[in-house]
Amino acid sequence: MQKAVTATPAPAAPLTAAETTFPILLSLGFCHLLNDLMQSLLPALYPMLKADFHLDYGQIGLITLAFMLTASLLQPTIGIYTDRKPQPFSLAVGMGGTLTGLVLLSMAHNYYAVLLAAAFIGTGSAVFHPEASRVARMASGGRYGLAQSIFQVGGNLGGAIGPLLAAFIILPRGQGSIAWFSLAALLAMFVLVRVGMWYSAHLAKLRAAPKTTVAAPVPHARAVLFVFLLMVLVFSKHVYTSSITTFFTFYLIERFQLPVQAAQVQLFIFMAAIATGTLVGGHISDRIGRRPMIWISILGALPFTLMLPYADLFWTGVLSILIALLMSSAFPAILVFAHEVLPGRIGLVSGMFFGFSFGLGGLGAAVMGRVADAHGIAFVYQLTSYLPALGLLVWFLPNLEKGKLGKFKATGR
């Protein structure tokens, strides 16, 4: 079979670790923090929304689905377009969608308005993630795992902080206080305009540099198969974590009779562990390779997910932290792996993994909501505990880094 070849602009000299642009990476991570902080307010407010609008668990799952599907359907489309025509200032424009959704959520007076607000927040996510992931790769200096982990850990931290802020700011003050978080969207838009200026200047340099071709490391048909397997792995991870983030507070309240704020603190700890695992996982994957990192991450979480449904309150906290650390450490490695098997398609790949995989996770949350209504939340955690067994699919992935890791270690990268 003939290998696929994709023409992509490249700099005249290869990037080195010394050229890693940390101010841009940190800016992207900070904006990702604000973006996901605002998005994580939605599941954190589910107990309040459930009480105010008299919702069942199935309707709660549909709110998650409305957010996830908007991001899912739009992200790959936006990624394909920006692969061909990069849009440096689309990052700031996308954040405007999140701003609109927050304002609408603060004023929603019925269930359908809440669904519309969730869809707007998802639209902001759809525009933000593919281009931000591309800029992170541009600023990586060749340290792709580290760059993606810095970018992603911002989102994880935002996802961890959001429920905590919701518990101590929004829940005591009511739905209208959500509007105050629109200030975070305005701050993110300002920073992203600055990032867009760097992105625009960097694109001009790339276009002026001699063009080159990047050959895919595997034939196109096999690359598509490998990307499909990676998406199945991400699907298993996101269905599980979506079940945790959507229903964890209800599970703790129902099983252990925790008050709402104490349950939100437990959710914060879980999300903080996800942030830690993401940052550490990206750095380690640059050292040991993408495939071993994925092995350790997803399949390594299986014993702990199997034990979680039967644990007491103390061990539920401990096991949830271990699960979060392990499962989150895989995503930077998975995304960089997909970038490498489909070179020149950074926007498409990022859109697929931030879009379809999250959308499928949202679909899983909606299905699990129906299961929870029928059989109870405890059964959901028993059912989803087997999902990490799909980590066995890593066996079919190639080792793209043979001969590279020794060079990596020798250079200290």
Cα 383 to Cα 60, 261, 310: the distances in Å are 19, 27, 12
pLDDT of residue 336: 81
How many CB atoms within 10 Å of residue 244?
A: 25
368-375's contacts with Cβ under 8 Å and 24+ in sequence apart are 368/61, 368/239, 368/242, 368/243, 368/246, 368/247, 369/57, 369/58, 369/59, 369/60, 369/61, 369/62, 369/64, 369/246, 369/247, 370/57, 370/58, 370/61, 372/57, 372/247, 372/250, 373/56, 373/57, 373/58
Cα 299 to Cα 325, 356, 389: the distances in Å are 13, 22, 6
Could you tell me which residues come within 8 angstroms of residue 283 by beta carbon, excluding any fewer than 6 positions away?
Answer: 145, 146, 149
Cα 382 to Cα 257, 306, 351: the distances in Å are 19, 7, 31
Please classify residue 232 by burial: count the beta carbons closer than 10 Å to its beta carbon, then call 0-12 exposed, 13-18 middle and 19+ buried. Answer: middle
Could you state, in chain order, the average pLDDT of each consecutive group of 10 residues for the chain (413 residues)? 40 45 90 87 82 85 80 78 82 90 89 91 85 86 82 80 80 83 91 91 74 62 83 81 79 87 83 82 78 83 91 91 87 81 76 69 75 84 86 80 45 36
pLDDT of residue 212: 56
pLDDT of residue 266: 86
- The helix (run of H) or strand (run of E) holding residue 75 is helix 57-84
The SS3 call for residue 5 is strand
- The helix (run of H) or strand (run of E) holding residue 7 is strand 5-9
pLDDT of residue 192: 93
In terms of Cα–Cα distance, which of 161, 158, 160, 180 is closest to 170? 180
Domains of the chain: 20-411 (1.20.1250.20)
Partners of 8 in the beta sheet? Answer: 212
Please state at what angle helix 331-341 crosses helix 260-288, rounded to 10 degrees. Answer: 40
In terms of Cα–Cα distance, which of 131, 27, 95, 24 is closest to 346? 131
pLDDT of residue 348: 77
The total number of residues written for the chain in this structure: 413
